[in-house]
Structure 1
């Protein structure tokens, strides 16, 4: 994952200053900046088969985040499916691990590509893109006939949360394609061989960590030390479990004292204890792949991640490793949300640029992605679930996906999520840095939360930053 910091809204709007710096990055893929480029060009005639009026001869530029899911799904599934209907469209396929570094100058220069998988550790700030009018309104996509059945609208084939979470400033403009399922991941083989049980209470979790530590076989716990967002995810999920979903709603809404509320303090203190006692040696200097590979080599028992993990580690995972996932255990004995509560929400976010030359083809590309064929083959290839209903029916899925899918079923309506990290890039950056300090023992739980609260307050009081509400 890249470590380039987010570009703030002010920097986004200061496009002229960014273009010269980025010239070398953009030159090989694009012509000179086209400030007048716009998605307002009149499309060709629309029809049920071509609901957006795609010009069959205009090129389409696609950028994929080359991370946990790789890029083969785009090259071998999505793009060929689109070409099966629009054979005359040249698809300019690109992939990068550094979305912001490579594409932010394109947006600033007025020549963005059509389709972007805006994902990874340093995705472009959705809130800033929305505020600057860069995101295509995807509502017509929802109301278009589905790729599979002209009598069924696209919106009726996907999880309803996709629309809620992908709406910015009243417009649906971000398509979360993957159903991200977060939890604590482990090897079912290791637990079975050692007689270790999945913990259902926090006390049992700490006892398990102690047992593993004393066994000398491996370290109890790790996380992606270089990317501490992997750790603030279970911390916030725990806080919501203790205090209810309103804990996360208040954080999203920049409410006064939301970060320093008691449930968040309890969660921060709990994870700080894990950091002090049970981390694999060297964790803070390792990235996500290094810690995950250490788990595959049986050097550590547990780590927090999402449902992309199994695919990301497919080249280093032993054949009998058998990934499993469990939810955050009960913490206080009087948690407001029950055991099994999960953080799950649409992710791997795709956008279409409103100022690209061919947004019609961009929306049609997303419509093809949301077909059962595309989504089902994606799930098989990258071992994770999409937001398309029933896409894995009749298909073989892996142990980790099976475990995560069962956890989602068990959770039912007890699912939580947050959006502040997509809405406010500077707050995300501050939380990442502070979480690393918490887990390394350089901040107490109180100091940690006061630091993040201060940044949240700064954003709340900055009139130049667009505010969002849940």
Structure 2
């Protein structure tokens, strides 16, 4: 269970959580940075890092592990050999760090990711995050004539911005789509379907061959909301997605959303979902897929690294965009959801804010970014950082999908603006949809009702996507 810091600075914890109970009436530190550690600026130190100031970094120990962060810390240490670096990694980000944010004693850098991510809406509303705009305007580590912002892939600043301030660096670049095994498809003579009619026809063939056409993590059913929203956006255009981000009335009842929900509901109705998937978590579903028990899986491009220990050597995982729903879709088949992920933040109350900004600058260097890609098989937010690196089959497929899209990528922000809308409400609605407890129309109604509740709740800070 995650905790949320409300607009009023109260901890809303899970029942029985002693730490949350003890801190329930405490306000969290505001946006005035302590910034105790500050040194003189220079060409080699544009952010004014105090060379002997300690730096504390907390990493989410998930699909990417923590070894890549140790490499980044070594790079920082080379630049500031007098600085003592404290490193820790956990899967319980909220439970571990929530009390420290409340006490005004957070770490200097936090990889705020995973199921226990601290709610960004609460952090932003409380002014708990340092503005990273200064980092964007600093010279890059590789070229003093190029600003950091000019080294980033398109969309990275947008996805980390709230109220016009860049507050979260989404370091990994994630491409989302439908995954399959090239080996399986080639051995069976199957081709990835570009239209929904082709998808259903192929699902019928796959099922007849004794393989489940699709699997999914029923315990995290929001994974199957992603192709619904992607298909709706491709059919109706980016304005459909922006309406969702802006909590507009009836955004989830748009005809394109209804059509997409009906399409993916058909997978459940026609028996194309793997039996037992409703009880699986993401690792279990992905492992079933790697074992050839199912043909299709909805996921992001961290999949290859997350499953490397169980993926057969000749599996040759590949990804493709969601199929087009109609011949009149506003976006082409090649369009896909591509966005920054794996958010890093610098708490405004950290003891070494300057060092935190510099640490992110190190991460955004060509060396830091390419090392990350080599270690975890994921692209980063840095342009050109995968050049010359031998990529695995999955990531090679991602780069092909990026090239084919020719810049035609899109994303949504409601999951960043209103985390619980996706993680709790949409997740629960998808669990019911794919278990056939509700229809596609009822799913649209249910999600819209949740979005309306968020829109009407005065305690939830609202954001506007232009």
Contact in 2 for aligned 1:127/1:168 (Cα 8 Å): no
CA–CA distance in 1 between the matches of 2:39 and 2:49? 6
**Residue among 199, 213, 218 paired with 2:193:** 199
* Corresponding residue of 2:19: 22
1:354–1:35: structure 2 CA closer, same or farther, 3 Å change rule?
Answer: closer
Q: Is structure 2 residue 428 aligned with structure 1 residue 433?
A: yes
CA–CA distance in 2 between the matches of 1:34 and 1:261? 39
Contact in 1 for aligned 2:138/2:147 (Cα 8 Å): yes
CA–CA distance in 1 between the matches of 2:45 and 2:21? 37
* Corresponding residue of 1:160: 154
CA–CA distance in 1 between the matches of 2:252 and 2:141? 43
* Corresponding residue of 1:460: 455
User: What's the CA shift for 1:8?
Assistant: 5.3
CA–CA distance in 1 between the matches of 2:115 and 2:263? 25
User: What's the CA shift for 1:6?
Assistant: 4.9
Q: Is structure 2 residue 61 aligned with structure 1 residue 66?
A: yes
CA–CA distance in 1 between the matches of 2:230 and 2:158? 19
CA–CA distance in 2 between the matches of 1:269 and 1:405? 30
Q: Is structure 2 residue 4 aligned with structure 1 residue 45?
A: no
CA–CA distance in 2 between the matches of 1:121 and 1:21? 20
Across the aligned residues of Structure 1 and Structure 2, the Cα RMSD in angstroms comes to: 2.2
1:233–1:94: structure 2 CA closer, same or farther, 3 Å change rule?
Answer: same
* Corresponding residue of 2:228: 235
Contact in 1 for aligned 2:72/2:363 (Cα 8 Å): yes
**Residue among 406, 411, 415 paired with 2:409:** 415
Larger CA deviation: 307-316 vs 57-66? 57-66
Q: Is structure 2 residue 265 aligned with structure 1 residue 272?
A: yes
User: What's the CA shift for 1:160?
Assistant: 3.2
**Residue among 38, 59, 72 paired with 1:78:** 72
CA–CA distance in 1 between the matches of 2:231 and 2:34? 43
Counterpart mapping for 1:279-358 below 5 A: 279-358=273-352
CA–CA distance in 1 between the matches of 2:167 and 2:13? 27
Q: Is structure 2 residue 217 aligned with structure 1 residue 224?
A: yes
Contact in 2 for aligned 1:8/1:425 (Cα 8 Å): no
Residues 448-470 of structure 1, C-alpha deviations (whole Å, 9 max, x = no match): 11111112112212223221111
CA–CA distance in 1 between the matches of 2:104 and 2:458? 25
* Corresponding residue of 1:134: 128
Q: Is structure 2 residue 449 aligned with structure 1 residue 447?
A: no
Counterpart mapping for 1:401-412 below 5 A: 401-412=395-406
Number of residue pairs the alignment of both structures matches: 458
CA–CA distance in 2 between the matches of 1:432 and 1:312? 21
User: What's the CA shift for 1:268?
Assistant: 0.9
User: What's the CA shift for 1:58?
Assistant: 2.0
Unaligned runs of 5+ in 2: none
* Corresponding residue of 1:30: none
1:39–1:275: structure 2 CA closer, same or farther, 3 Å change rule?
Answer: farther
CA–CA distance in 2 between the matches of 1:422 and 1:324? 27
Residues 245-284 of structure 1, C-alpha deviations (whole Å, 9 max, x = no match): 1110000011110011111111111111112321111101
Structure 2 length normalisation: TM-score?
Answer: 0.94
Contact in 1 for aligned 2:35/2:350 (Cα 8 Å): no
User: What's the CA shift for 1:25?
Assistant: 12
1:389–1:124: structure 2 CA closer, same or farther, 3 Å change rule?
Answer: same
Unaligned runs of 5+ in 1: 27-32
CA–CA distance in 2 between the matches of 1:207 and 1:25? 57
Q: Secondary structure at the match of 1:226?
A: helix
Residues 343-367 of structure 1, C-alpha deviations (whole Å, 9 max, x = no match): 0111111111001111111111000
Contact in 2 for aligned 1:222/1:303 (Cα 8 Å): yes
CA–CA distance in 2 between the matches of 1:243 and 1:102? 42
User: What's the CA shift for 1:35?
Assistant: 6.2
